Amino acid sequence: MERTEGRLADGRQIIWYDADGTHRTAVPDRRDLPTTVTGSQLRLDPLTGQWIGIASHRQSRTFMPPAQECPLCPSRDHLSEIPSAEYQVVAFENRFPSYELNAEAPEAKSDGIEQSRAGRGRCEVVCFTSDHSSTFAALSPEHARLVVDTWADRTTALNAIDGIEYVFPFENRGKEIGVTLQHPHGQIYAYPFLPPRATIELERARAYREQHGRSLFGDIIEREATDGTRVIARNDEWIAFVPFAARWPVEVHLYPTRQVPDLPALDDVARDGFVEVYLDVLQRFDLLYDDPTGYIAAWQQAPARRHRDDAWLHLELFSFRRAADKVKYLAGSESGQGAFVNDGSPEDVAQRLQDAK
């Protein structure tokens, strides 16, 4: 993999990732853009102990432009975020970030009830391909591997930033998920705190190890592999299965069979193994209905500095879509109490995915 670094017109970092031998030269961004300055804040919810991001500047972000004005396509007859005629994979700082390292927020306060601080973190966009009409599922294994290498490289770089606690690569795809740009891309959030889902999973893993002397994640993998009922795809390096207590109408978790804390810790064999299983699962997702299934793909990995021994890298892939023309809305129980009710059976969903090929 080759990296080519550059700067966008407003000073944001952009990095082209290419297969070895490409030897790309950074292209200057000639747009007239003001320097990005945000007022992102973090406010602590005293009832839950969770940090809430306040980023009102994001109200003006780009929303569902026509294909000919896509800001993630290569610059041709319009000036996009990517100043080159073509690219393989690109990562750059988000123009409308939820968190920003230079966030200028009001003075921090802490009076026991109202606690706040600047929302200093980092948000990046990762464009998987320059082909606007493509999808991750349609990438070649070699191209998908380049995306994995990009995620790993960015995780290493972001983990090294002072104040960053957790790096979260993810992809939102589909109108039902609420995407604002249709071009195949994902994002990376580098949080200045440990987010709730990661906190819960790591606390559960730590408690399980203290009680049983084994890894919770490892025991889940062994149980699913032995039973096999909910397994969707597997090879020597990875296993993908519908979880026993699935929250979402369609949900698949992908785990490496060997414990590693994060994406940078995957060796070449494990990265290739992931690509094989992940492309298989994504293609099955798209065969469930007559049109492609929207989804969220959420990487769960070790925090930058804490609890790394308990972590086991995995990807949680899920869709809100419960039927060809219906989506699951997070209504009273889910939104009001965080208590999920799944209208379907995980075993039935697993069977449908196993048959979708």
Instruction: Tell me the catalytic residues.
Output: 185
Determine if residue 127 is labeled as part of a ligand binding site.
Answer: no
User: Which of 69, 106, 131, 97 has its CA nearest to residue 12?
Assistant: 97
User: DSSP assignment, residue 82?
Assistant: B
- Residue 254, classed as helix, strand or coil, is strand
Determine if residue 253 is labeled as part of a ligand binding site.
Answer: no
The percent helix, strand, coil of the chain (3-state, each to 5) is 30, 25, 50
Determine if residue 70 is labeled as part of a ligand binding site.
Answer: yes
Kindly state the helix (H) or strand (E) to which residue 353 belongs, with its residue range. helix 346-355
Within 111-215, residue ranges assigned H as helices are 141-159, 196-212
| Amino acid identity at 124 | E
- DSSP strands (E only) in the chain: 2-7, 13-18, 41-44, 51-54, 89-93, 109-110, 115-118, 122-127, 166-173, 185-191, 231-234, 238-241, 250-256, 295-300, 314-319, 321-323, 326-327
Rounded to a whole number of angstroms, the CA Rg of the chain reads: 21
Cβ atoms 220, 206 nearer than 8 A: no
Length of the chain equals 357
Cβ atoms 65, 181 nearer than 8 A: yes
**Would you list which residues are annotated within the binding site for Zn(2+)?**
70, 73, 132, 183
**Would you list which residues are annotated within the binding site?**
70, 73, 132, 183
